[in-house]
Structure 1
Amino acid sequence: MCQSVPGVYIFGDSLVDVGNNNHLPLSLLKANFPHNGVDFPTGEATGRFSNGKNAADFLAEKVGLPTAPPYLSSKSEVPITGVSFASGGAGLLNRTDDLFRQAISMTQQVDYFALVHDHLVQQLGSDGARAHLAKSLFVIVIGSNDLFAYFHNNSKVSKKYTPQQYVDLMASTFKQLIKRLYGMEARKFVVTGVGVIGCCPARRKETATSECKVEANNWSTKYNDGLKLLLQDLKLELSEINYSYFDTYGVMNNIIQNPQTYGIIETKEACCGLGNMKADVPCIPIATYCSNRRDHLFWDRVHPTEIVSSLFANLLYNGTQEVTFPINVEQLAKL
């Protein structure tokens, strides 16, 4: 076990949800049924929006820890090695969850962490908890759903804010949440930018020629630029903070532009689904799924395949400064 990382605390959306949404009775976003999990070690659906493992699983493996279990499944006993608050459909902004009826918003995830923090103080004492959390990784994968909510048909928020006001609001909300976590001893942050959301099958199928939605991609880039600046500012403002930022957009765009480099063949169509781009119907039991999952970028309408999640985690862990900066997770863990 990598002694340098005693725990991993995961915050975010369906890209890293390991089963929290299974415990949300009203949520419209669940993955606890086939064909999800077809390549998971047990062959069963676990609540991961994937054919197998997701980035949270692979990152835990990299640092030698078990995958952080879903917070909603471990209320009485929170393992010392970390916990996951990530929830499918979650956003930085509380209203984003309205799209999917029920999700654990980022604010609520941080509220839950406050309870875990108190639990750790009881268990380890305040000095012990501080030392444990200062060495732990705080992984934050969020923002895509906020942008989906803005650029989706009949979007209410797009009537209220200009795109620039909206991405600024996302960034300022993110900053407040990081500062709250820092106030509860979090020191090492792993932050991922938003991917090429206009190129997922759910968006491509809305265009006549299956092209990417340019506007959604442009604002994803603008949000990511703001996020990078915000992290640099926080580093100046909070003396003990360290972070690794992962350029999800750049890596995903590179896979789309040069798929053969990564052993990927199909970058447009989903593997699991039905209809146009296999994205008219989501990955539910009546859907069909491809046999060649290792050469698809997308598992379903919006989520990557297991192989792509693994690729992301590898680059996040020990990638060059081109994709993960100012340092990668391997370097962050050693600080």
Structure 2
Amino acid sequence: MKMASDCVRAMTGFWVVFLVLLRLSCSEGQMVPALFVFGDSIMDVGNNNDLPLSVARAILPYYGVDFPTKKPNGRFSNGKNCADFIAEKLGLPTSPPYLISNSSQSNSSSPFLTGVSFASGGAGIFDGTDEKLQQSIPLKDQVELYRGVHDDLVQHMGSSGAQKHVAKSLFLIGIGSNDIFDYAKSSDLRKQHTPQQYVDLMVSSLKDHLKRLYSYDARKFVFAGLAPIGCTPAHRVRNQNEPGECNEDTNSWCRMYNEALLAMMKGLKSELGDISYSYLDIYNVVLGFIQNPSAYGFTEVKAACCGLGDLRAQIPCLPISQLCSNRRDHVFWDLVHPTEATDRMLIDIVFRGSPQYTYPMGVQQLAAVET
């Protein structure tokens, strides 16, 4: 309501100029001015496409087969991902585009008014999670890229205008899976750190990055907790103790991280005072899909939709891969990523704030918080 009244008052002056701004940042039904996205391949909408050395790119068929363009576009999905669905529900005119496509626009106003995605497949909280894949944008660098976007907003809107604009916006963060993958496959890391020590280091590093975002006016955060990645087709097919079943060690580390993340955010709220946040319990939502698939319209919870070999998870999703005929009944799209159907249902559940799966509020409630 306050955003709408601000827009009305703005039109009393130089109405032609403000009409343009109104259409850009106060569209009918738009809950926040902008959405800034940080994370890994769960959130990536194309940043890796422009990293020349990266092989972690969703640029081959059948990626994007159910996207409106029907073409690969950098999303590690058959269609839209979590970031897309959150942007839609927030009423934003478009899903935040990836950084390079957004910054290349020619516009007299800032190209970042409604947000941008910094998310990068293979990225982690720690640097080097993509050591084998070669080149992603780790969280540290994503935050540094945001600083440049903030500078651009200040240049176009002034310091006070940018501060108000950013403070009302949402910062969506979904990262940590690749750090857990690293821990799972590295005997050296497991010798150096107990699981609890490792996730505590992850959360401590994340906290430092959040404080940096805070120093550049970020006030409202949406945190996507880790899914039960031990249940992904890739981890099932590698489970030597119980072939085809979830890897419970990996899942336990995900739960440890989620608990540590939630405790850190509670502490950061006490420390900083003027931040607000929504924690999304992705783990238990997705586990519900896996344990009770018929209740959500799924029939296949173990195998990937696109791939080859056992559970279609021994060879990645390539043009030579087998493709399931009905993507809507699969929880998983490829070795480790969910289908569009999974992400759509997931966001439907957490957006409005089911007390069972969000804390202390849902995304919709967070968007309405005054700053």
Q: TM-score range by the shorter chain?
A: over 0.9
Consecutive unaligned residues in structure 1, runs of 5 or more: none
Provide the residue aligned with 1:275 in structure 2.
309
Alpha-carbon distance between aligned partners in 2 of 1:162 and 1:103, rounded to the nearest angstrom: 27
Shift in Å, 1:159: 3.6
Deviations 1:115-134 (A, max 9, x none): 00000000100000000001
Provide the residue aligned with 1:54 in structure 2.
81
Q: Tell me which moved more, 293-302 or 89-98.
A: 89-98
Shift in Å, 1:314: 1.4
Task: Determine which of 141, 154, 157 is the counterpart of 1:121.
Answer: 154
Q: Quick check: 1:141–1:193 contact (8 Å CA) kept in 2?
A: yes
Alpha-carbon distance between aligned partners in 1 of 2:72 and 2:80, rounded to the nearest angstrom: 10
Provide the residue aligned with 2:320 in structure 1.
286
Alpha-carbon distance between aligned partners in 1 of 2:99 and 2:200, rounded to the nearest angstrom: 30
Correspondence 1:1-335 to 2 at 5 A: 1=27, 2-65=29-92, 66-77=94-105, 78-152=111-185, 154-208=186-240, 209-335=243-369
Percent sequence identity is: 52
Shift in Å, 1:81: 0.3
Shift in Å, 1:156: 4.2
Q: Quick check: 1:4–1:135 contact (8 Å CA) kept in 2?
A: no
Shift in Å, 1:311: 1.1
Shift in Å, 1:6: 0.4
Alpha-carbon distance between aligned partners in 2 of 1:223 and 1:284, rounded to the nearest angstrom: 32
Consecutive unaligned residues in structure 2, runs of 5 or more: 1-26, 106-110
Larger radius of gyration between Structure 1 and Structure 2? 2
Deviations 1:7-61 (A, max 9, x none): 0000000001000010111112110110001100111110100001111111111
Deviations 1:199-241 (A, max 9, x none): 0000000125311111111111011000010011111111110
Deviations 1:289-320 (A, max 9, x none): 10111000000000000011111221221131
TM-score w.r.t. length of structure 2 = 0.88
Instruction: Please identify runs of 4+ aligned residues in structure 1 that moved more than 6 A.
Output: none
Shift in Å, 1:73: 2.4
Aligned-partner SS, 1:97: coil
RMSD of equivalent CA atoms? 1.2
Alpha-carbon distance between aligned partners in 1 of 2:116 and 2:237, rounded to the nearest angstrom: 36
Alpha-carbon distance between aligned partners in 2 of 1:224 and 1:101, rounded to the nearest angstrom: 27
**1:168 is matched by which residue type in structure 2?**
D
Alpha-carbon distance between aligned partners in 2 of 1:334 and 1:170, rounded to the nearest angstrom: 30
